Amino acid sequence: MKISPIMSNSYNNVSFSSCARIVKNKSGSIIYRNTTTFFRNDLDWNSLCMYIKDKYKNANKVNLVCYACSDGSEPMSLAMLIKENFGNDFQKFFPIVAKDVDDVIIRRAKSCFVNMDIEDIRTINNYTNNNIRNYFKFPRKALGIEFIPALINPWFKKGINYSVADIKKDCSNIPSDNTLLFFRNVWPYLADDSERMKLIKKIKSQFSKNCAIVIGNFDNKNISTHNLLLDAGLKESGLLKNVYELG
């Protein structure tokens, strides 16, 4: 897919996991940023885990669908959370479907390595009971260098299917039952409230049974995605901020 017109883009920070790539149009205005990080801290990941356990306890298959996945930090965080907390049941959540409108960032997400800094390693160890080596291999010692190259273990890599997609055109592919849809920290990049509401209505009509959507703090900065979701008839989960269900 071609995103046009892209005149410039840059990686301000070479860390994969703290990606801060900016994509601008011809006149220099920002179209969007790929900013992301492992276990981005605007979501309470431990409560999310409890929420998923309860909501999908009777489901044989759960669809974790992550649009605006950027470089993969978000779906990989989700995959680690599931693997650590669901024992043998983890298979019913895999593969996670991860999509982004940006073909450059999806190429990067599909690669088999990540560059991590010490903070990424600390965060991942925190959520995986110091089990980072179950997911990543560190081929060389990295003492004294800023970023540490890590290879994604093949079994873990297979747990996420990446592809390029614009959510506005791809809604019909969202599974309608037992779906947890991530579209986080991206709503301000849509044109205006009318485009946002059109998308919310499409997503809502796609949802049938036991579905929810997860947004981020950035989505309520300057624009109020929260109010738009409520206006469309969704309700915020009583258990967890930033998660909305059919009312």
Ligand X SMILES: C[S@@+](CC[C@H](N)C(=O)[O-])C[C@H]1O[C@@H](n2cnc3c(N)ncnc32)[C@H](O)[C@@H]1O
Query: In the beta sheet, which residues pair with residue 148?
Result: 116
Please, which residue, 104 or 142, has the CB nearer to ligand X? 104
Which region, judged by CB under 6 A, interacts with ligand X, from 47-55, 171-179, 181-189, 232-240? 181-189
Which of the residues 66 through 95 are near ligand X (CB under 6 A)?
67-68, 70, 74
Residue at token pair 């088999």: 112
Binding residues for ligand X restricted to 29-58, rule: CB under 6 A: 32-36, 40
Residues 105 and 70 sit within 8 Å (Cβ to Cβ):
yes
74/97 Cα distance (integer angstroms): 11
For ligand X, the binding residue among 78, 101, 200, 213 (CB under 6 A) is: 101
User: Per CB under 6 A, does 100 bind ligand X?
Assistant: yes
Q: Does 167 bind ligand X (CB under 6 A)?
A: yes
Q: State the nearest-atom distance from the C-beta of 120 to ligand X, in Å.
A: 13
- Nearer to ligand X by Cβ, of 211 and 215: the residue is 215
CB nearer to ligand X: give 142 or 223: 223
**Which residue's CB is nearer to ligand X, number 92 or number 200?**
200
Contact status: 105 vs ligand X (CB under 6 A): yes
Name the DSSP letter for residue 153. Answer: P
Nearer of residues 92 and 202 to ligand X, judged by Cβ: 202
Which CB sits closer to ligand X, 15 or 70?
A: 70
From its phi and psi, is residue 122 left (phi > 0), alpha (psi between -120 and 50) or beta? alpha
Residue pair 19/2 in contact (Cβ under 8 Å)? The answer is no
Residues 182-211 that bind ligand X (CB under 6 A): 184-186, 189
How many Cα atoms sit within 13 Å of 30 on the Cβ side? 11
Q: How many amino acids of this chain bind ligand X (CB under 6 A)? A: 22
Residue 210 has phi, psi (to 5 degrees) of: 60, 50
| 43-49 long-range Cβ contacts below 8 angstroms, 24+ apart | 43/184, 43/214, 43/216, 43/242, 44/240, 44/241, 45/77, 45/81, 45/127, 47/239, 47/240, 48/81, 48/214, 48/240, 48/243, 49/81, 49/85
User: Does the footprint of ligand X cover residue 124 (CB under 6 A)?
Assistant: no
Binding site for ligand X (CB under 6 A): 32-36, 40, 67-68, 70, 74, 100-102, 105, 166-168, 184-186, 189, 216
